[in-house]
Structure 1
Amino acid sequence: MSLHMVAKHLRQLPPHLFEIEHCSALKTNDIGSLTTFLLLLSAEVFGTFINCGLIGSELTAQSKDVTEKLYFIEWYNFSVKNRRMFFTFQTAITQPYEMKAGGVTPMNMETFSDIIKSSYSFFNILQTVE
């Protein structure tokens, strides 16, 4: 399917569906601006998905996995020095690690979903202001 066909199909969407016909790249017949718009949009969404969704969720899952595996270690066979280190480490990782943005917001799939929802809401608000 060519980009002209994609642009034609996007223009035929009902106005209330995505409010996408208000985008300036879709108002013109310039295939270059449409291509640039779609590539930049895809890159931003993909980058946010990788950084926020996949990496953050995987890090938390791996952290939980380490905690569970430590529970089944036969620590009683360790030397006294290693037991102390083991218990210190086990105490330190009782809570699963979460990667946080700015030290406040956890970076996971829920946050990614919230970012996409908020972005869409802001986009619609800006379109109604025009």
Structure 2
Amino acid sequence: MFIYCFYGEKIMRKSMAIADEIYQIDWVHLTIKTQKSLYQIIIRARRPIKLTGLSLFTMKIETFGKIVKSAYSAYNLLKST
């Protein structure tokens, strides 16, 4: 589970960095068609790519922490009874 959450977080961060990298390009020397294409990519890159589990939760490190915390709480509850 940790691997899925780790790479889900990594994918989300990399996808958000795409817009910043495109913005750093020297736009003056590009054709109008290329500028429009890059602009559309920037608009799409504002929404990060997310790896989800069953469309219920996003795979990220925070989610993994919550799962471990819930599992530990359930373990302690079952252990005490």
TM-score class, shorter: 0.7 to 0.9
Kindly state the Cα deviation for residue 114 of structure 1 after the two structures are TM-superposed.
0.4
Indicate the residue corresponding to 1:15 in structure 2.
none
Q: When the two structures are superposed, what TM-score results if normalisation uses the length of structure 2?
A: 0.82
Q: 2:69 aligns with which of 102, 105, 117?
A: 117
Identical-pair percentage? 26
Distance 1:81 1:99 in 2: 32
TM-score normalised by the chain length of structure 1: 0.55
The answer to whether the 8 Å contact 2:19/2:41 transfers is no
From the superposition, tell whether residues 73 and 104 of structure 1 become closer, same or farther in structure 2 (CA, over 3 Å): farther
The answer to whether residue 79 in structure 2 is matched with residue 127 in structure 1 is yes
Amino acid at match of 1:95: R
Q: Aligned to 1:91, what secondary structure does the other structure show? A: helix
The one of the two structures with greater contact order (alpha-carbon pairs below 8 A, sep at least 6) is 2
Provide the C-alpha distance between the structure 1 equivalents of 2:2 and 2:54, rounded to a whole number of angstroms: 17
Question: Structure 1: how far apart are the matches of 2:36 and 2:54?
Answer: 33
**Within the alignment, does 1:102 sit opposite 2:54 as a pair?**
yes
Q: How many residues align?
A: 81
- In structure 2, the partner of 1:49 is 2
Mind listing any 5+ residue stretches in structure 1 that lack a counterpart?
Answer: 1-47
Query: Is the contact between residue 75 and residue 86 of structure 1 (CA under 8 Å) also seen in structure 2?
Result: no
Larger radius of gyration: 1
RMSD between aligned alpha carbons?
1.6
Secondary structure of 2:55's match? coil
Pairwise mapping of residues 1-130 of structure 1 onto structure 2 (< 5 A)? Answer: 48-52=1-5, 54-129=6-81
